[in-house]
Chains A and B, each alone.
Chain A
Amino acid sequence: MLAARSRLPDLAAVTRVDEVGVAERVARFTSRSIKKESKVEALKMVLSMIDLTTLEGQDTPGKVRQLCQKAMHLHDRRPGLPHVAAVCVYPTLVAVAKRALGDSGIKVASVATAFPSGMAPRRVKIEETKIAVGEGADEIDMVISRGAFLAGDYAAVFDEIAAIKEAAQGAHLKVILETGELGSLDRVRRASVLAMHAGADFIKTSTGKVQPAATLPVTLVMLQAIRDYHAETGRMVGMKPAGGIANAKLAIHYLVMLKETLGNAWMTPDRFRFGASSLANDVLMQIEKQLTGRYQSADYFSRD
């Protein structure tokens, strides 16, 4: 089945993107007014879609265990809240996270392929992917070789994604385009098409290490690429904006955009994720505000 679609598509035939038009459409999403029950429902949905992330050189097993605890128990004082979708770490900490999360149902995502730059030989990237999966990663967040993509060597990028997909041995593959380095929405759209045809289960905006990270316009272009790919092949690819989504209001804008672009079938953690480290607490604060009518001090929410 995969073989049938593993052909490099003609990227020159991919529809063009008009940045002014994209900005106008985004402005319509951000002017939606989400209040009352629909807001509480959205906030809970956001929590369930978070990939709680720590990707620092100074990460320790202790910090990862702490994060896993948070992932499972976001705010136990308020019953009925969901847990996050996944915890996202470096390959060396996958085993720690896997053990800490146990049978909670929370996935372990590992970045791989010389994250964040992707500047390593392909065999190293393949090996790294295999190690992460071997340690128990359920999901692999890979980066594309932006250098090759920008140079127009689409076949190399395509083959590499396909190779990592194979090395991931069934683990969910999220392909990071690092849109902040692509330079135009036209390229974002083409990179999305390329990644999906090469086998991506999710496409993801950013590593979080490059500015700008996720933006609403970039995410809209990727969602539209997902929609058209689905229309063409019937396969539903997921979307993960990552980096820069720090507050609940912005996260709700993303949900509005998701709902009005891809519809209900994508409104689930299986098809949409937020890559974020500080989003969860703001969402929790807003939930408390909605339910109690008052803002609570930030000290009532654990910082991990």
Chain B
Amino acid sequence: MDRPARASALAFEGGWTYSPAPESTEHVRIDERYGLFIGGEFVRPAEGRYFPTLNPATEEPIAEVALATDPDVDRAVRAARAAFEGPWSRMKPIERGKYVYRLARLIQERSRELAVIESLDGGKPIRESRDIDIPLAAAHFFYYAGWADKLEYAFPGRRAAPLGVAGQVIPWNFPLLMLAWKIAPALACGNTVVLKPAETTPLTALKFAEAVQDAGLPPGVVNIVTGAGETGAALVNHPGVDKVAFTGSTEVGKIIQRSLAGTGKRYTLELGGKAANVVFADAAIDQAVEGIVNGIFFNQGHVCCAGSRLLVQESVAEEVIDKLKARMETLIVGDPLDKNTDIGAINSQAQLEKIRSYLEIGLAEGAEMHQSSCPVPERGWWCRPTLFTGVSQSNRIVQEEIFGPVLAIQTFRTEEEGLAKANNTPYGLSGGVWTDKGAKVFRMTRGIRAGVVWANTFNKFDPTAPFGGYKESGMGREGGLHGLDAYLDLDA
């Protein structure tokens, strides 16, 4: 049957357009240079070296931060040890809880400033840092503050003791939120921490260090050391660290796991993902399309649990792909500080190059690429929302984590085929199922081997829900009751 062009024929370009609506930066204070936060003070790094952190939307430096080397990491771990053995582990749990509450409230009070800095430093749209990252970070502190004096109820019949000093290494995709996931449960359980933020996004961690000072935490309970991979390795391998918590790539996670073998250190690893978002023909199609968009284009696709593989039932595949392409045309790519921006800047030049190399791989593999037609700024690092069709399980863009706004689309016929394709990956962090049938929701969510599986929604986070991976997506859980376990020694 000769059919008129589908929704993709709608005209979104031109006409009435939104004027720029930049978030104000007047209330934001960023120092020119930051030292290391050790023992409650900002200190000079031992070797006196600093490195710039860049705004990915302009490629301009925002501030300089200290490069921590072995002696600095050692100093930080010692400070954390002293604080652990001094006041912190002896403090009444209810008092410890008060400090954690105080941090939660300080994050809320400074949320506007933190949101702007998160977007400046990391490139994510202000809508997301304002509405998701910062409120969720505060929520994690509030949630774990409540547990501080109730640990005996969390694990009835068992005596819970803190582990000691936690060495924590976090990624650049959700800087303050990942900090909250790490620091809130650690402190609530009575540990002290040394945290290394990612080298491209250290600023909100340093602003958090100021909040730690303002909250009057005993010196050394929270230490922040900045630097790149070598600093992280020094922290992870420091013999004074009792527990390692890492969020980042599977590649680095494996190196860490090897280095920890035989050390007796406890560890949790939250690594990569290549989640399947499975859309059945009986799903609410328009809302599923929205879920696909949120699944892969949220935070420029820099999300370990992103729904980067779309599996769509063949009878609705054409409709879903047409609607997806139309929806992509309405996504606004550009200035992260503009309140109407949907997709911000790619976090770093290195990451942009990695994404581009995957686009080339996809094309070389014979896949069909579609990108939205939106304009992107000349300076800065940008990638238009992208989808690939005509791919199969053996394509590298289907198998490997791209960590960008790139979706690989495959079809399936039966539920069994959909499930088999969803699970045919070394990863297992998250998954999504879209159907109007309750029974199918339960069969699929039980069948998908992943730590988090969403039904008729995607990328929803809550401090009470545990998060973590199967297979090469990591070990251990963060969030919820399970997240306490990772920071406690539990006697039988």
Interface of B: prevailing SS: loop
**1/0 contact trace for A13-50 toward B, CB 8 Å?**
00111101110110000011111111101100100000
Kindly specify which of A62-70, A98-106, A227-235, A291-299 makes contact with the partner chain.
Answer: A227-235
Pairwise interchain contact A264-B12, C-beta atoms closer than 8 A: yes
Among B150-194, those with CB < 8 Å from A are none
CA distance A223 to B12 in the complex (A): 15
Partner of A21, one of B15, B17, B282, B457: B457
Instruction: Give the residues in chain A near B10, CB-CB below 8 Å.
Output: 227, 262-263, 265
Nearest A residue to B4, CB-CB: A234
Among A178-237, those with CB < 8 Å from B are 224, 227-228, 230-234
**Among A20, A39, A45, A264, which residue has the most Cβ atoms of chain B within 10 A?**
A264
CA distance A232 to B3 in the complex (A): 7
**1/0 contact trace for B44-76 toward A, CB 8 Å?**
000000000000000000000000000000000
Pairwise interchain contact A265-B11, C-beta atoms closer than 8 A: yes
**1/0 contact trace for A258-276 toward B, CB 8 Å?**
0110111101000000000
Pairwise interchain contact A21-B284, C-beta atoms closer than 8 A: yes
**B24 CB, nearest partner CB in chain A, Å:** 12
Pairwise interchain contact B456-A231, C-beta atoms closer than 8 A: no
Nearest A residue to B291, CB-CB: A21
Pairwise interchain contact A20-B456, C-beta atoms closer than 8 A: yes
Partner of A18, one of B15, B20, B456: B456
Pairwise interchain contact B7-A45, C-beta atoms closer than 8 A: no
Nearest B residue to A268, CB-CB: B15
Interface of A: prevailing SS: helix
Pairwise interchain contact B6-A15, C-beta atoms closer than 8 A: no
CA distance A22 to B290 in the complex (A): 9
**1/0 contact trace for B4-41 toward A, CB 8 Å?**
11110111111111111100000000000000000000
Judged by a CB distance under 8 angstroms, whether A255 is at the interface is yes
Instruction: Give the residues in chain B near A233, CB-CB below 8 Å.
Output: 4
CA distance A38 to B19 in the complex (A): 5
Pairwise interchain contact B285-A42, C-beta atoms closer than 8 A: no
Judged by a CB distance under 8 angstroms, whether B365 is at the interface is no
Pairwise interchain contact B284-A15, C-beta atoms closer than 8 A: yes
Instruction: Give the residues in chain B near A262, CB-CB below 8 Å.
Output: 10
Pairwise interchain contact A264-B287, C-beta atoms closer than 8 A: no
Nearest B residue to A32, CB-CB: B340
Instruction: Give the residues in chain B near A265, CB-CB below 8 Å.
Output: 10-11
Pairwise interchain contact B19-A231, C-beta atoms closer than 8 A: no
CA distance A73 to B484 in the complex (A): 67
Instruction: Give the residues in chain B near A20, CB-CB below 8 Å.
Output: 287, 456-457
Instruction: Give the residues in chain B near A234, CB-CB below 8 Å.
Output: 4
Among B443-462, those with CB < 8 Å from A are 456-457
Pairwise interchain contact B284-A33, C-beta atoms closer than 8 A: no
Pairwise interchain contact A32-B12, C-beta atoms closer than 8 A: no
Pairwise interchain contact A41-B12, C-beta atoms closer than 8 A: no
Partner of A34, one of B18, B285, B288: B18
**A192 CB, nearest partner CB in chain B, Å:** 13
Instruction: Give the residues in chain B near A267, CB-CB below 8 Å.
Output: 15-16
Nearest A residue to B342, CB-CB: A28
Judged by a CB distance under 8 angstroms, whether B283 is at the interface is yes
Given contacts A21-B287, A22-B287, contact A264 B339 (CB under 8 A): no
Pairwise interchain contact B285-A15, C-beta atoms closer than 8 A: yes
Instruction: Give the residues in chain A near B322, CB-CB below 8 Å.
Output: 231
CA distance A228 to B9 in the complex (A): 11
CA distance A34 to B19 in the complex (A): 7
**1/0 contact trace for B448-484 toward A, CB 8 Å?**
0000000011000000000000000000000000000
**1/0 contact trace for A229-250 toward B, CB 8 Å?**
0111110000000000000000
**Among A41, A228, A234, A263, which residue has the most Cβ atoms of chain B within 10 A?**
A263
Instruction: Give the residues in chain A near B282, CB-CB below 8 Å.
Output: 16
Pairwise interchain contact A264-B284, C-beta atoms closer than 8 A: no
Among B389-424, those with CB < 8 Å from A are none
CA distance A37 to B19 in the complex (A): 7
CA distance A21 to B19 in the complex (A): 27
Q: How many residues does chain B have at the interface if contact means C-beta atoms less than 8 Å apart?
A: 36
Partner of B284, one of A17, A34, A37, A232: A17
Judged by a CB distance under 8 angstroms, whether B286 is at the interface is yes
Given contacts A16-B436, A24-B290, A228-B7, contact A259 B284 (CB under 8 A): no
Judged by a CB distance under 8 angstroms, whether B330 is at the interface is yes
Given contacts A31-B127, A231-B4, contact A21 B14 (CB under 8 A): no
**1/0 contact trace for B331-362 toward A, CB 8 Å?**
00000000110000000000000000000000
Judged by a CB distance under 8 angstroms, whether B131 is at the interface is yes
**A137 CB, nearest partner CB in chain B, Å:** 30
**B334 CB, nearest partner CB in chain A, Å:** 14
**A269 CB, nearest partner CB in chain B, Å:** 14
**A238 CB, nearest partner CB in chain B, Å:** 15
Instruction: Give the residues in chain A near B436, CB-CB below 8 Å.
Output: 16, 18
Nearest A residue to B327, CB-CB: A260
Instruction: Give the residues in chain B near A264, CB-CB below 8 Å.
Output: 11-16
Pairwise interchain contact A231-B6, C-beta atoms closer than 8 A: yes
Pairwise interchain contact B16-A16, C-beta atoms closer than 8 A: no
Nearest A residue to B281, CB-CB: A15
Instruction: Give the residues in chain A near B21, CB-CB below 8 Å.
Output: 33-35
Pairwise interchain contact A36-B19, C-beta atoms closer than 8 A: yes
CA distance A35 to B19 in the complex (A): 6
**Among A21, A37, A228, A234, which residue has the most Cβ atoms of chain B within 10 A?**
A21
**A255 CB, nearest partner CB in chain B, Å:** 7
Among B117-172, those with CB < 8 Å from A are 127, 131
CA distance A22 to B286 in the complex (A): 9
Nearest B residue to A45, CB-CB: B16
**B237 CB, nearest partner CB in chain A, Å:** 44
**A14 CB, nearest partner CB in chain B, Å:** 10
CA distance A230 to B11 in the complex (A): 13
**B307 CB, nearest partner CB in chain A, Å:** 14
Given contacts A32-B340, A33-B21, contact A18 B287 (CB under 8 A): yes
Nearest B residue to A41, CB-CB: B16
Pairwise interchain contact B12-A42, C-beta atoms closer than 8 A: no
Instruction: Give the residues in chain A near B283, CB-CB below 8 Å.
Output: 16
CA distance A275 to B10 in the complex (A): 25
**1/0 contact trace for A56-97 toward B, CB 8 Å?**
000000000000000000000000000000000000000000
Pairwise interchain contact B290-A259, C-beta atoms closer than 8 A: no
Nearest B residue to A25, CB-CB: B290
Partner of A17, one of B20, B127, B286: B286
> Could you pull out 23 A-B pairs where Cβ atoms are within 8 angstroms?
A15-B285, A16-B284, A17-B287, A18-B436, A20-B456, A20-B457, A21-B284, A21-B288, A31-B131, A34-B21, A39-B19, A41-B16, A227-B7, A227-B10, A230-B7, A231-B4, A232-B4, A255-B16, A260-B330, A263-B15, A264-B16, A265-B11, A267-B16
List B residues at the A interface (Cβ < 8 Å).
3-7, 9-21, 127, 131, 282-288, 290-291, 322, 330, 339-340, 436, 456-457
Beyond A34-B21, A230-B7, 12 additional pairs, beta carbon < 8 A: A17-B284, A17-B287, A21-B286, A36-B19, A39-B19, A41-B16, A224-B286, A255-B16, A262-B10, A263-B15, A264-B16, A265-B10
Pairs of residues from A and B, 6 with the lowest C-beta to C-beta distance, nearest first: A21-B287, A264-B15, A33-B21, A263-B10, A18-B284, A33-B339
